[in-house]
């Protein structure tokens, strides 16, 4: 069983939280819940209401998007990755389904605690924007590459 200090150390390892005041991280860790998911178990489903974000403590999370009724694995997330923040930041349904690949140990951070931390620590908001911008840039590049491949195949 982990201690509060273990959870604070875990949060500090995540680039998003690395510059946050230790006292604020301690409060966040105290308000968070450790959850373990087993192989194939769903963390959340695409379309669900976003009520929390998750930090991957250990294991692999499979990011699955339903496209035209087909489930497509689009990414794998692992230790120290942060998942589910888009739905809680944008008040929109989950954009993907997350499933455990093997045993997945997570720290669940409720929406109100995460948003409260952003209000108390504006630098976290900036880091979240940077992370989301990097993800968008990567996705745009991948879509562009896929479009080029489709054009090449149809020519």
Give the chain's domains with CATH numbers. Answer: 4-154 (2.60.120.10)
pTM comes to: 0.81
Q: What percent of the chain has pLDDT over 90?
A: 38
Q: How far is CA 13 from CA 17, 82, 144, in A?
A: 7, 11, 33
pLDDT tops 70 at residue 37: yes
b or e along 89-108 (b: 16 or more beta carbons within 10 Å of the residue's beta carbon)? beeeebebbbbbbeebbbbb
Return the number of other C-beta atoms located less than 10 Å from residue 61's C-beta. Answer: 23
Kindly indicate the confidence band of residue 53, based on its pLDDT and cuts at 50, 70 and 90.
Answer: very high
pLDDT, mean over the chain = 88
Tens-digit pLDDT profile for residues 54-110:
989 899 999 999 988 899 999 999 998 889 988 888 888 999 999 999 999 999 999
- 44 in Cβ contact with 84 (< 8 Å): yes
CA angle, 100 as apex, 95 and 106 as ends, to 5°? 85
Kindly indicate the confidence band of residue 154, based on its pLDDT and cuts at 50, 70 and 90.
Answer: confident
Question: For position 49, what pLDDT does the model report?
Answer: 92
Kindly indicate the confidence band of residue 1, based on its pLDDT and cuts at 50, 70 and 90.
Answer: low
């Amino acid at each position: 069983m982990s201690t509060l200090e273990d959870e604070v150390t875990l949060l500090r390892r995540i680039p998003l939280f690395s510059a946050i005041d230790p006292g604020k991280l301690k409060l966040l860790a105290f308000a968070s819940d450790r959850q373990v998911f087993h192989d194939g178990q769903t963390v959340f489903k695409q379309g669900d209401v976003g009520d929390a974000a998750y930090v991957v403590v250990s294991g692999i999370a499979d990011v699955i998007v339903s496209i035209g009724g087909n489930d497509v694995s689009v990414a794998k997330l692992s230790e120290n990755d942060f998942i589910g923040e888009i739905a809680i930041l944008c008040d929109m349904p989950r954009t993907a389904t997350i499933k455990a690949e093997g045993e997945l140990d997570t720290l669940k951070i409720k929406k109100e605690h995460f948003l409260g931390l952003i209000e108390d620590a504006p630098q976290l908001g900036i880091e979240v924007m940077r992370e989301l911008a990097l993800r968008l840039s990567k996705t745009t590049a991948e879509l562009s590459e896929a479009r080029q491949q489709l054009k090449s195949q149809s020519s």
